[in-house]
Protein backbone atom coordinates (compact mmCIF):
# COMPACT_ATOMS: atom_id res chain seq x y z
CA UNK A 1 0.00 0.00 0.00
CA UNK A 2 1.41 3.39 -1.00
CA UNK A 3 1.88 5.91 1.77
CA UNK A 4 0.28 9.32 1.14
CA UNK A 5 2.63 12.14 0.28
CA UNK A 6 3.34 14.39 3.28
CA UNK A 7 5.02 17.76 3.18
CA UNK A 8 7.76 18.73 5.63
CA UNK A 9 5.36 21.22 7.24
CA UNK A 10 2.93 18.37 7.99
CA UNK A 11 5.68 16.33 9.61
CA UNK A 12 6.46 19.16 12.03
CA UNK A 13 2.84 19.50 13.23
CA UNK A 14 2.01 17.93 16.58
CA UNK A 15 -1.35 16.21 16.99
CA UNK A 16 -3.24 15.69 20.26
CA UNK A 17 -6.53 13.96 21.00
CA UNK A 18 -8.02 16.08 23.77
CA UNK A 19 -11.25 14.21 24.45
CA UNK A 20 -13.21 11.21 23.15
CA UNK A 21 -16.94 11.04 23.93
CA UNK A 22 -19.15 8.09 23.00
CA UNK A 23 -22.81 8.69 22.36
CA UNK A 24 -25.78 6.41 21.73
CA UNK A 25 -28.95 7.25 19.92
CA UNK A 26 -32.05 5.10 20.31
CA UNK A 27 -34.06 4.65 17.15
CA UNK A 28 -36.86 2.37 16.08
CA UNK A 29 -34.47 -0.34 14.92
CA UNK A 30 -32.23 -0.24 18.01
CA UNK A 31 -29.35 1.87 19.24
CA UNK A 32 -26.81 3.69 17.09
CA UNK A 33 -23.46 4.40 18.73
CA UNK A 34 -21.16 7.18 17.55
CA UNK A 35 -18.10 9.08 18.75
CA UNK A 36 -17.22 12.74 19.15
CA UNK A 37 -13.55 13.70 19.35
CA UNK A 38 -11.88 17.00 20.22
CA UNK A 39 -8.46 17.33 18.54
CA UNK A 40 -5.70 19.93 18.79
CA UNK A 41 -2.84 20.45 16.34
CA UNK A 42 0.09 22.84 16.38
CA UNK A 43 3.63 23.28 15.15
CA UNK A 44 5.02 24.39 18.53
CA UNK A 45 6.00 27.74 16.98
CA UNK A 46 2.89 29.86 17.52
CA UNK A 47 0.39 28.11 15.23
CA UNK A 48 -2.49 26.12 16.74
CA UNK A 49 -5.88 24.75 15.72
CA UNK A 50 -8.77 22.92 17.37
CA UNK A 51 -11.27 20.72 15.55
CA UNK A 52 -14.26 18.49 16.30
CA UNK A 53 -14.79 15.15 14.59
CA UNK A 54 -17.92 13.01 14.65
CA UNK A 55 -18.29 9.52 13.16
CA UNK A 56 -19.52 6.03 13.91
CA UNK A 57 -16.00 4.83 14.69
CA UNK A 58 -13.36 6.53 16.83
CA UNK A 59 -10.53 6.38 14.22
CA UNK A 60 -12.74 8.07 11.61
CA UNK A 61 -13.78 10.72 14.12
CA UNK A 62 -10.12 11.40 14.99
CA UNK A 63 -9.24 11.74 11.31
CA UNK A 64 -12.07 14.22 10.75
CA UNK A 65 -11.12 16.17 13.86
CA UNK A 66 -7.48 16.46 12.79
CA UNK A 67 -8.45 17.68 9.30
CA UNK A 68 -10.77 20.33 10.71
CA UNK A 69 -8.17 21.41 13.24
CA UNK A 70 -5.60 21.91 10.46
CA UNK A 71 -8.09 24.02 8.48
CA UNK A 72 -8.80 26.20 11.52
CA UNK A 73 -5.18 26.86 12.50
CA UNK A 74 -4.43 30.40 13.68
CA UNK A 75 -1.31 32.39 14.52
CA UNK A 76 -1.07 33.25 18.23
CA UNK A 77 0.54 36.65 19.01
CA UNK A 78 3.46 36.14 21.40
CA UNK A 79 5.47 38.33 23.72
CA UNK A 80 8.59 36.24 24.17
CA UNK A 81 7.25 32.79 25.09
CA UNK A 82 4.03 34.03 26.69
CA UNK A 83 0.90 35.89 25.57
CA UNK A 84 0.90 39.70 25.30
CA UNK A 85 -2.06 40.46 27.60
CA UNK A 86 -4.82 39.02 29.81
CA UNK A 87 -7.78 37.52 27.95
CA UNK A 88 -10.92 35.51 28.68
CA UNK A 89 -12.30 32.87 26.34
CA UNK A 90 -15.90 31.69 26.49
CA UNK A 91 -17.79 28.76 25.04
CA UNK A 92 -21.13 27.72 26.41
CA UNK A 93 -20.87 27.73 30.19
CA UNK A 94 -17.07 27.48 30.24
CA UNK A 95 -14.88 30.52 30.85
CA UNK A 96 -11.08 30.26 30.66
CA UNK A 97 -8.84 33.05 31.94
CA UNK A 98 -5.40 33.33 30.28
CA UNK A 99 -2.71 35.52 31.84
CA UNK A 100 0.88 36.21 30.72
CA UNK A 101 3.64 34.87 32.96
CA UNK A 102 7.30 35.68 33.53
CA UNK A 103 10.08 33.61 31.98
CA UNK A 104 10.51 30.24 33.67
CA UNK A 105 6.97 29.99 35.09
CA UNK A 106 5.97 27.16 32.79
CA UNK A 107 2.46 26.16 31.77
CA UNK A 108 0.10 26.42 34.74
CA UNK A 109 -2.91 24.60 33.27
CA UNK A 110 -4.50 21.21 33.21
CA UNK A 111 -6.61 18.96 31.04
CA UNK A 112 -7.69 20.24 27.67
CA UNK A 113 -6.24 23.73 28.15
CA UNK A 114 -2.76 22.35 28.82
CA UNK A 115 -2.72 20.20 25.68
CA UNK A 116 -3.80 23.10 23.46
CA UNK A 117 -1.27 25.47 25.00
CA UNK A 118 1.58 22.94 24.67
CA UNK A 119 1.11 22.39 20.93
CA UNK A 120 0.84 26.15 20.35
CA UNK A 121 4.43 26.79 21.47
CA UNK A 122 3.56 28.91 24.53
CA UNK A 123 5.97 28.04 27.36
CA UNK A 124 4.94 30.42 30.16
CA UNK A 125 1.28 31.10 30.97
CA UNK A 126 -1.19 31.20 33.87
CA UNK A 127 -4.72 29.86 33.35
CA UNK A 128 -7.88 29.53 35.42
CA UNK A 129 -11.23 27.88 34.74
CA UNK A 130 -14.07 30.15 35.89
CA UNK A 131 -17.12 28.29 34.58
CA UNK A 132 -18.33 24.87 33.55
CA UNK A 133 -16.10 21.84 33.86
CA UNK A 134 -17.17 20.37 30.54
CA UNK A 135 -13.99 19.38 28.70
CA UNK A 136 -15.43 20.13 25.25
CA UNK A 137 -16.46 23.66 26.26
CA UNK A 138 -13.16 24.26 28.05
CA UNK A 139 -11.17 23.34 24.95
CA UNK A 140 -13.28 25.62 22.75
CA UNK A 141 -13.10 28.44 25.34
CA UNK A 142 -9.30 28.20 25.41
CA UNK A 143 -9.16 28.34 21.61
CA UNK A 144 -11.57 31.30 21.63
CA UNK A 145 -9.25 33.14 24.04
CA UNK A 146 -6.20 32.50 21.84
CA UNK A 147 -8.16 33.73 18.80
CA UNK A 148 -9.12 36.93 20.64
CA UNK A 149 -5.54 37.98 21.45
CA UNK A 150 -4.36 41.27 19.95
CA UNK A 151 -1.00 41.63 18.23
CA UNK A 152 0.82 44.64 19.78
CA UNK A 153 2.37 45.51 16.42
CA UNK A 154 -1.05 45.67 14.74
CA UNK A 155 -2.55 47.80 17.52
CA UNK A 156 0.44 50.17 17.46
CA UNK A 157 0.21 50.55 13.68
CA UNK A 158 -3.52 51.27 13.98
CA UNK A 159 -2.74 54.08 16.43
CA UNK A 160 0.17 55.29 14.29
CA UNK A 161 2.70 54.57 17.03
CA UNK A 162 5.56 52.21 17.58
CA UNK A 163 5.35 49.27 19.98
CA UNK A 164 7.90 50.94 22.26
CA UNK A 165 5.79 54.11 22.41
CA UNK A 166 2.67 52.06 23.14
CA UNK A 167 4.05 49.68 25.79
CA UNK A 168 7.33 51.29 26.80
CA UNK A 169 9.31 48.24 25.64
CA UNK A 170 9.86 46.06 22.61
CA UNK A 171 7.78 42.95 21.97
CA UNK A 172 9.60 40.13 20.19
CA UNK A 173 8.12 36.91 18.84
CA UNK A 174 11.05 34.46 19.14
CA UNK A 175 9.64 32.04 16.57
CA UNK A 176 9.14 34.77 13.95
CA UNK A 177 12.58 36.18 14.66
CA UNK A 178 14.16 32.72 14.32
CA UNK A 179 12.35 32.19 11.00
CA UNK A 180 13.50 35.59 9.72
CA UNK A 181 17.10 34.91 10.80
CA UNK A 182 17.00 31.51 9.08
CA UNK A 183 15.64 33.09 5.90
CA UNK A 184 18.36 35.76 5.94
CA UNK A 185 21.04 33.12 6.52
CA UNK A 186 19.66 31.05 3.63
CA UNK A 187 19.65 34.11 1.33
CA UNK A 188 23.21 34.95 2.36
CA UNK A 189 24.37 31.38 1.77
CA UNK A 190 22.65 31.33 -1.65
CA UNK A 191 24.28 34.64 -2.60
CA UNK A 192 27.71 33.38 -1.50
CA UNK A 193 27.22 30.14 -3.44
CA UNK A 194 26.18 32.10 -6.54
CA UNK A 195 29.18 34.41 -6.21
CA UNK A 196 31.50 31.42 -5.80
CA UNK A 197 30.00 29.77 -8.88
CA UNK A 198 30.45 32.96 -10.91
CA UNK A 199 34.06 33.26 -9.71
CA UNK A 200 34.78 29.65 -10.62
CA UNK A 201 33.18 30.15 -14.03
CA UNK A 202 35.25 33.28 -14.63
CA UNK A 203 38.50 31.55 -13.61
CA UNK A 204 37.70 28.59 -15.85
CA UNK A 205 37.02 30.91 -18.79
CA UNK A 206 40.29 32.77 -18.10
CA UNK A 207 42.29 29.53 -18.02
CA UNK A 208 40.66 28.41 -21.26
CA UNK A 209 41.52 31.70 -22.98
CA UNK A 210 45.16 31.43 -21.82
CA UNK A 211 45.54 27.82 -22.95
CA UNK A 212 44.09 28.44 -26.44
CA UNK A 213 47.02 30.54 -27.91
CA UNK A 214 49.60 28.17 -26.43
CA UNK A 215 47.88 25.20 -28.01
CA UNK A 216 47.76 26.97 -31.38
CA UNK A 217 51.48 27.75 -31.17
CA UNK A 218 52.36 24.13 -30.39
CA UNK A 219 50.15 22.75 -33.14
CA UNK A 220 51.58 24.98 -35.97
CA UNK A 221 54.39 23.07 -37.88
CA UNK A 222 57.73 24.83 -38.17
CA UNK A 223 58.52 26.00 -41.71
CA UNK A 224 61.63 24.23 -43.16
CA UNK A 225 64.68 26.48 -43.51
CA UNK A 226 65.34 27.41 -47.14
CA UNK A 227 68.72 26.20 -48.38
CA UNK A 228 71.11 28.96 -49.41
CA UNK A 229 71.80 29.05 -53.17
CA UNK A 230 75.03 27.19 -54.06
CA UNK A 231 77.91 29.38 -55.14
CA UNK A 232 78.96 28.93 -58.80
CA UNK A 233 82.04 26.75 -59.21
CA UNK A 234 85.20 28.50 -60.44
CA UNK A 235 86.38 27.35 -63.92
CA UNK A 236 89.27 24.94 -63.80
CA UNK A 237 92.64 26.40 -64.79
CA UNK A 238 94.15 24.96 -67.86
Quick one: the chain helix, strand, coil %, rounded to 5?
Answer: 40, 25, 35
Domain assignments of the chain as residue spans, ordered by start:
11-174
The predicted-structure confidence for 138-189, as pLDDT tens digits, reads as follows 999 999 999 999 999 899 999 988 888 888 888 888 888 888 888 889 988 9
pLDDT of residue 227: 54
The predicted-structure confidence for 192-201, as pLDDT tens digits, reads as follows 888 888 888 8
Share of the chain above pLDDT 70, in %: 84
* Integer-rounded Cα radius of gyration of the chain: 37
User: Could you tell me the pTM of the whole model?
Assistant: 0.74
Fold classified for 11-174? Ribosomal Protein S5; domain 2 (3.30.230)
DSSP three-state, residue 70:
helix
Q: Give the rounded distance of the alpha carbon of 14 from its chain centre.
A: 13
- More confident: 6 or 11: 11
The predicted-structure confidence for 77-126, as pLDDT tens digits, reads as follows 999 899 999 999 999 899 999 999 999 999 999 889 999 999 999 999 99
Cα dihedral across residues 128, 103, 39, 76: positive or negative: positive
* Whole-Å CA distances, 210 to 87, 207, 222: 73, 5, 22
Q: Mean pLDDT throughout 54-58?
A: 92
pLDDT of residue 64: 94
Spatial separation of the C-alpha atoms in residues 55 and 77, rounded to whole Å: 34
Residues 6 or more apart in contact with residue 22 via CB below 8 angstroms:
33, 34, 35, 36
Task: Compute φ and ψ for 104, nearest 5 degrees.
Answer: 95, -5
Amino acid sequence: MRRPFRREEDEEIQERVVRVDRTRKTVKGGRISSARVVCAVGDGKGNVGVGIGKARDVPQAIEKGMKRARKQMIRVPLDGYTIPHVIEGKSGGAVILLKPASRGTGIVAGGAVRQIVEVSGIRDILTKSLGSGNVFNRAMACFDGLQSLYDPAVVAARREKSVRELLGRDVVDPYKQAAEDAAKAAEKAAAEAEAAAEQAKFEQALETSEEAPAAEGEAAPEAPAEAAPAAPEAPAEQ
